[in-house]
Structure 1
Amino acid sequence: MLMLKRKTAGESVFDAVNILGMLLICFLTIYPIWYVLVNSFNDGQDAMRGGIYWWPRVFSFDSYQAVFASPGIMTAMGVTVAKTVVGTAAHVFFTAMVAYAVSRKELIGRNLYMTVGTITLFFGGGLIPYYLLIRDLHLLDSFLVYIIPAMFSFFHLIIFLSFFRDIPEGLEEAARIDGANDLSIFCRIIIPVSMPVVATIALFHGVYQWNDYFTGMIYINNQDLQPIQTFLYRVVAQSSSNQMVAAMPGGISKSVTSQSVKLATMVVTTAPIVFVYPFLQKYFVRGLMIGSIKG
């Protein structure tokens, strides 16, 4: 019969301190989100009195109605969804393809490519040269500005490399015997067996694409091509929020404020990725572990 070892007083205190510390960290992480959510569902004028911490005092959907009634929000949401889906697919495929090529020992100039790529992790050209490059490529005010510049990441290439190096060479040799070329091997063998790292990179880049507001703010002047995060940036600005409130019908504008509109907009723009993230979080952990454990 197994005897359970009784914890010492020191071990019990240590466990209690750890539990309390983790609970405190969870509270500090979750409560700000809860505070924004609660105040976004409260009447804007009533929220100005303060004292709302755990639950709406005067429940109201008027702030959300004001957000969805604002011109351009559905277009901005559509742009965000489109650039997230297309941009993530293009980024994963192109970065994986380059990583597969670099992982081949017979590639000429392989070490040079790795050296140049490593330098780019530490040094950049700056915003002005990058803007001039985007302009010369005729990507200003174009949907492709979200896709083409973000198709490749050397950091993600390193993650792909760590995974590709563990793939048995026998798989490729068998495919070549059957007459497959490099593209067929990559699409039919490498990608299917690399789904864990593919899902990891897709999640990394998908979150980036969804949260990116800077690209739309700097390189896009056409509001029909601006993503939801750039729309949020404009709403958070005090002048934009006041204009939005002033444009609402009288029954709504009396119960909302610029602050309540900001909070509601934050919830609308972050809710989709917040709901998706918990289901895909395991891929983050798996991505961090890629290449660190053999066997």
Structure 2
Amino acid sequence: MKLTLEDRLLHTFVYIVLFILSLLSLYPFWNALVVSLNSGTDTSLGGLTLWPRDMTLDNYHVILSDPRFFKALGISTLRTICGTIASIFFTALLAYGLSRKETMGRKFYMIMAVFTMYFSGGLIPTYLWLRELGLFNNFGVLFIPWTISVWNMIVFRTFFQELPVELEESAKLDGCGHYGLFFRIVLRLSGPVIATLSLLQAVFFWNEWFASGIYINDSNLLPVQNYLMNMINSNSAQEMISQLSGVSGSVGDMVTRSITPKSLQMTALMVVSLPIILVYPFVQKFFVKGVMVGSLKE
């Protein structure tokens, strides 16, 4: 269809606005990257904008030589994997049960589930509850309280209800029960929605730091986000610099020469953000893929 002059002007205006908004959104991340790649002493002089003036990898060398970082990174990785798998599986299982018309009291259970989205038990009751369960300073406290996501359950339930009835009837004729139908038919058709919700849950588990800061007192169980928060909100960066400044050799020399608390903080921010950013390109296609293409034909 041929565009009129007014349409072209409107499209141009929209693209310009979107381009400006994209730049405004990406610039803080880019600036953090520039600071992390620049000498800390040079950054303290100010005026650093789009490109490093004194490019160096000393900041990354210091962060990656800290054993606490890799320990926290391992905890976050394990938490994200275990939490995402457990959350998606049990949430999908609950959603499947509530999507069946023959489930007794399913409307009541849905009302109770939705009620928890608007009214929570509060921080103090949750604290006491988790303490009584023995989850304090326990790896399970990092993901067990979020095993069921009501919002994800509603998404799963809506998707399951839209599956063709013919699939269920044909599976039952072949001798499938509810578990066979769930594992062999429903889950196999739910690839895109599982991938989408898995990504959202993985991002949540990777970024969550508040609860782990409350329920975990053992520094060996703190995830990498708490490592970053401690570096930003306390004197952890300055303490690291003070410790490494007394070390003889190349590490001590580079700390004395070019490392500052701000450069370490920005470097930690970049290193912590990188893993979850790398996951997006591999899952993005599922956001646009048709969820039922070819299911009836096969």
Cα distance in 1 for residues equivalent to 2:149 and 2:121: 15
Deviations 1:155-184 (A, max 9, x none): 101100111011122222232233322222
Cα distance in 1 for residues equivalent to 2:12 and 2:150: 43
What's the C-alpha RMSD, in Å, of the aligned pairs? 1.8
| 1:293 corresponding residue in structure 2 | none
TM-superposed CA distance for 1:231, in Å, is: 0.8
For the pair 1:151 / 2:153, whether they are aligned, the reply is no
Deviations 1:199-252 (A, max 9, x none): 111111011011111122111111111111111111112411110111113313
In structure 2, stretches of 5+ residues that fail to align are: 293-298
**Aligned residue runs from structure 1 range 7-18, under 5 A:** 7-8=4-5, 10-18=6-14
Deviations 1:58-93 (A, max 9, x none): 111111122122231111111111111111011110
Cα distance in 1 for residues equivalent to 2:35 and 2:56: 10
Cα distance in 2 for residues equivalent to 1:5 and 1:281: 32
Which of 258, 265, 275 in structure 2 is aligned with 1:272?
Answer: 275
Q: Is the 8 A contact 1:200 1:286 kept in 2?
A: no
Cα distance in 2 for residues equivalent to 1:6 and 1:182: 54
| 1:104 corresponding residue in structure 2 | 100
Change (3 A) 1:6 1:222: closer
Which of 110, 113, 120 in structure 2 is aligned with 1:117?
Answer: 113
Cα distance in 1 for residues equivalent to 2:171 and 2:10: 56
Deviations 1:91-123 (A, max 9, x none): 110000000000011111111001111111111
SS at match of 1:139: coil
Cα distance in 2 for residues equivalent to 1:285 and 1:44: 43
Which of 229, 253, 263 in structure 2 is aligned with 1:251?
Answer: 253
Equivalent residue letter for 2:263? S
Cα distance in 1 for residues equivalent to 2:76 and 2:272: 10
**Aligned residue runs from structure 1 range 52-71, under 5 A:** 52-71=48-67
TM-score, normalised via structure 2 length = 0.90
Cα distance in 2 for residues equivalent to 1:215 and 1:285: 33
Report how many aligned residue pairs link the two structures.
285
Change (3 A) 1:152 1:286: farther
| 2:296 corresponding residue in structure 1 | none
Deviations 1:131-152 (A, max 9, x none): 1111111111111112211110
Cα distance in 2 for residues equivalent to 1:50 and 1:38: 12
| 1:160 corresponding residue in structure 2 | 156
Q: Share of identical aligned residues, percent?
A: 37
Cα distance in 2 for residues equivalent to 1:199 and 1:190: 14
Equivalent residue letter for 1:50? G
Change (3 A) 1:209 1:286: farther
Q: Is the 8 A contact 1:238 1:258 kept in 2?
A: no
Equivalent residue letter for 2:274? A
For the pair 1:44 / 2:47, whether they are aligned, the reply is no
In structure 1, stretches of 5+ residues that fail to align are: 291-295
Cα distance in 2 for residues equivalent to 1:47 and 1:203: 35
| 2:204 corresponding residue in structure 1 | 208
Q: Is the 8 A contact 2:192 2:287 kept in 1?
A: no
Which of 137, 142, 150 in structure 1 is aligned with 2:138?
Answer: 142
Change (3 A) 1:92 1:6: closer
Question: Post-superposition, which runs of at least 4 consecutive aligned residues in structure 1 deviate over 4 A?
Answer: 284-287
**Aligned residue runs from structure 1 range 68-79, under 5 A:** 68-79=64-75
| 1:129 corresponding residue in structure 2 | 125
Equivalent residue letter for 1:59? M
Equivalent residue letter for 2:255? S
TM-superposed CA distance for 1:189, in Å, is: 1.2
Deviations 1:35-58 (A, max 9, x none): 100110101011100111111111
For the pair 1:197 / 2:200, whether they are aligned, the reply is no
| 1:94 corresponding residue in structure 2 | 90
